């Protein structure tokens, strides 16, 4: 590994390869990850072009050194940790727009472009990149997106592969037209089950919502305590809807949502179509995780995890999981993209005893999701933390196929090793 680091330094220059403790820690450990390990990468390389990435890969292959791609570092299942040491490849210098194919509604970018910067840069074109799940494109590709039907779907093979098959240095993204009219609605409910059920009703009705998010009472309380949104929210389970389309279609969507809300004992219904006020309403959803983390006492840890189930089961699973979570007596909340059947739990804890309790609670949630024909993760991915669940979800045969693909593309098992699944004989 030392020889590889020396060679990387002569390739990239001293400033583009770091072995400083702080930098290694920032690339091998995450204070919001559910799982962390002792070992760190031996160095972090900061390439600035595809050519440099390719040369880094050649050097790492020559010395059989693991390569661990790193973009925004937001993933929570130990995705970018370094269980076998190796080089963390941080794409932060590769943050440009390479080509804007305006008429095709496509854009080609480097991996560290953030969706927010990207949208700010192209806003005058009338187009935007509609997804906002992760900080950078590289990580979004690492943990999933996109479409093709030409031959084997190699896009989808790489998308979601968490850096275990290759290093992404460019991505072409499908853009959408910025809607003529947008709106945000926020509705509070007496129970989480009511909130989840109403979200399902809205989806069943075929109303074209851009997003439906659920936040539980704890999460709403946390947002109030953090003061991050500059207003006081009802501390009850709350649904956040985003609408987009023509003026007429948005007005119609809102009207339909209001009609559905009448079937429920809602506590509060707010709607905004003024852009600034919308931003303020949506800010609670955006601030959710950070507000929770801001309340962490020093030394305490966080377990943030997600599952997804068929729409018909999501209200039931959220209700059961919330009961278990409340039963822990710890500080934890539920938040979800309930329209996709996907939700998250974030739980703060302190020490080994509490960790074991949290682990049990998370196991129960994942096991239930699998029993309901769901998946162990809707969007966070497998990383180190969910390998056993993946095995449980898929069984041996699909994992054997994945191993065969990995072996053919990465015969020396150097690309982000230890993530998603282990080599057969480990």
Ligand X SMILES: Cc1cc2nc3c(=O)[nH]c(=O)nc-3n(C[C@H](O)[C@H](O)[C@H](O)COP(=O)(O)OP(=O)(O)OC[C@H]3O[C@@H](n4cnc5c(N)ncnc54)[C@H](O)[C@@H]3O)c2cc1C
| Tokens at 342, concatenated | 């996907």
What's the first-to-final CA gap in the chain, in angstroms?
22
Q: How far apart are CA 17 and CA 177, in angstroms?
A: 40
Under the binding rule (CB under 6 A), the answer on residue 85 touching ligand X is no
- Strand 301-308 relative to strand 342-349, pairing: antiparallel
Q: Tell me the closest approach of the beta carbon of residue 156 to ligand X, in angstroms.
A: 14
Under the binding rule (CB under 6 A), the answer on residue 346 touching ligand X is no
Binding ligand X (rule: CB under 6 A), the pick from 23, 44, 140, 325 is 140
Binding ligand X (rule: CB under 6 A), the pick from 57, 285, 416, 417 is 416
Under the binding rule (CB under 6 A), the answer on residue 69 touching ligand X is yes
| Tokens at 94, concatenated | 């590769």
Residues near ligand X (CB under 6 A), total: 31
- Grouping H, G, I as helix, E, B as strand and the rest as coil, residue 70 is strand
Interacting residues of 158 by C-beta distance below 8 A, sequence separation 6+: 141, 165, 166, 168
Site for ligand X in 198-257 (CB under 6 A): none
Question: Between 197 and 304, whose beta carbon lies closer to ligand X?
Answer: 304
Under the binding rule (CB under 6 A), the answer on residue 163 touching ligand X is yes
Q: Which stretch binds ligand X (CB under 6 A): 139-147, 215-223, 260-268, 316-324?
A: 139-147
Binding ligand X (rule: CB under 6 A), the pick from 143, 219, 266, 278 is 143
Q: Which residues of 40-50 are buried (b: 16+ CB within 10 A; e: fewer)?
A: bbbbbbbbbee
Under the binding rule (CB under 6 A), the answer on residue 339 touching ligand X is no
Binding ligand X (rule: CB under 6 A), the pick from 24, 79, 82, 244 is 79
Neighbours of 377 (CB within 10 A): 26
Q: Which stretch binds ligand X (CB under 6 A): 96-104, 163-171, 269-277, 385-393?
A: 163-171
Q: Which stretch binds ligand X (CB under 6 A): 136-144, 228-236, 267-275, 398-406?
A: 136-144
User: What are the backbone angles phi and psi of residue 70, rounded to the nearest 5°?
Assistant: -140, 125
Site string for ligand X, 88-127 (x = CB under 6 A): ---x-------------------x----------------
Binding ligand X (rule: CB under 6 A), the pick from 236, 380, 387, 406 is 380
CB 376 within 8 A of CB 370: yes
Q: How far apart are CA 45 and CA 128, in angstroms?
A: 31
Q: How far apart are CA 103 and CA 316, in angstroms?
A: 45
Q: Which stretch binds ligand X (CB under 6 A): 10-18, 159-167, 234-242, 322-330?
A: 159-167
| Tokens at 349, concatenated | 């804890």
Block residue for tokens 């056993």? 388
Q: Which chain residues interact with ligand X by CB under 6 A? A: 68-76, 79-80, 91, 111, 133-136, 138-140, 142-143, 162-163, 167-168, 289, 337, 379-380, 416
């Amino acid at each position: 590994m030392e020889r590889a680091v020396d060679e990387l330094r002569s390739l990239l220059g001293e400033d583009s390869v770091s072995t400083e403790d702080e930098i290694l820690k920032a690339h091998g450990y995450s204070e919001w990850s559910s799982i962390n390990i002792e070992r760190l990468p031996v160095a972090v390389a900061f390439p600035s072009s595809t050519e440099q990435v390719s040369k880094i890969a050649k050097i790492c292959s020559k010395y059989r050194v693991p390569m661990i791609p790193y973009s925004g570092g937001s993933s929570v299942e130990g995705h970018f940790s370094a269980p076998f040491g190796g080089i963390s490849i941080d794409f932060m210098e590769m943050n440009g727009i390479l080509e804007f194919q305006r008429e095709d509604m496509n854009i080609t970018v480097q991996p560290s472009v953030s969706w927010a910067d990207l949208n700010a840069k192209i806003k005058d074109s009338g187009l935007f990149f509609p997804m906002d799940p992760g900080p950078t494109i590289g990580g979004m590709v690492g943990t999933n997106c996109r479409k093709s039907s030409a031959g084997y779907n190699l896009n989808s093979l790489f998308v979601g592969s968490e850096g275990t098959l290759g290093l992404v240095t460019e991505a072409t993204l499908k853009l959408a037209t910025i809607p003529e009219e947008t709106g945000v609605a926020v509705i509070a409910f007496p129970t989480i089950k009511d909130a989840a059920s109403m979200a399902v009703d809205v989806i069943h009705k075929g109303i074209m919502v851009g997003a439906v998010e659920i936040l539980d009472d704890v999460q709403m309380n946390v947002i109030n305590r953090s003061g991050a949104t500059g207003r006081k929210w009802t501390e009850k389970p709350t649904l956040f809807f985003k609408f987009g389309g023509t003026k007429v279609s948005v007005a119609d969507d809102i009207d339909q949502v209001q009609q559905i809300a009448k079937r429920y004992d809602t506590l509060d219904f707010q709607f905004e179509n003024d852009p600034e006020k919308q931003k303020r309403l949506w800010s609670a959803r955006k601030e959710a995780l950070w507000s929770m983390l801001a309340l962490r006492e020093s030394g305490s840890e966080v377990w943030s995890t997600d599952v997804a189930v068929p729409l018909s089961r999501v209200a039931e699973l959220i209700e059961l999981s919330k009961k278990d979570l409340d039963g822990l007596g710890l500080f934890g909340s539920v938040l979800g993209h309930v329209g996709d059947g996907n939700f998250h739990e974030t739980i703060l804890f302190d020490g080994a005893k509490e960790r074991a309790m949290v682990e049990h609670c998370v196991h129960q949630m994942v096991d239930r999701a699998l029993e309901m024909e769901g998946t162990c993760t809707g969007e966070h991915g497998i990383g180190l933390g969910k390998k056993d669940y993946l095995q449980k979800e898929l069984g041996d045969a699909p994992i054997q196929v994945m191993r065969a693909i990995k072996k053919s593309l990465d015969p020396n098992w150097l690309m982000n090793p230890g993530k998603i699944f282990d080599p057969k004989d480990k």
